[in-house]
Amino acid sequence: MFKRSDDPASAPVRFTFDGRQMTARAGDSVAAALLAGGVTRFRDTPVGGAPRMAYCMMGVCFDCLVRIDGIPNRQACLEPVTEGMAVERQPAPAATGGELR
């Protein structure tokens, strides 16, 4: 579904997703890096716990919310991936005691 152009000039950026080491390209958004790495579940919905992932890739839909470096509710499609960044799947707020702020 998604295809990246091959640009050998892009420096690799290392980050983690749920503790798993991943590599992205400099300039990638967190969502693009996760999708390129095969991640298809970014968060769970508050009602029903349905899995969600990036949808609009431009910050309109909020389906790509993740926790970045301990901060919840970050839109993965708008955040550039940085070296050493820790990204985590965001569980449904009911499961965490109400994480939405």
Within a domain: 75? yes
Flag whether 97 is in a domain.
no
In tens, the pLDDT along 67-91 reads 999 999 999 999 999 999 999 998 8
Range of the domain at 41: 12-92
Confidence category of residue 43, pLDDT binned at 50, 70, 90:
very high
Q: What is the CATH number of the domain that holds 48?
A: 3.10.20.440
Total number of domains in the chain: 1
Report pLDDT for 13: 96
3-state secondary structure the chain: CCCCCCCCCCCEEEEEECCEEEEEECCCEHHHHHHHCCCCCCEECCCCCCEECCCCCCCCCCCCEEEECCEEEEECCCCECCCCCEEEEECCHHHHCCCCC
Q: What is the average per-residue pLDDT within 4-24?
A: 85
Q: Does 31 map to a domain?
A: yes
Asked if residue 98 belongs to a domain, the reply is no
d(C-alpha 70, C-alpha 3), whole Å: 30
Each residue's pLDDT tens digit, 26-35: 999 999 999 9
Q: Is the pTM of this model over 0.85?
A: no
* pLDDT higher than threshold 60 for residue 2: no
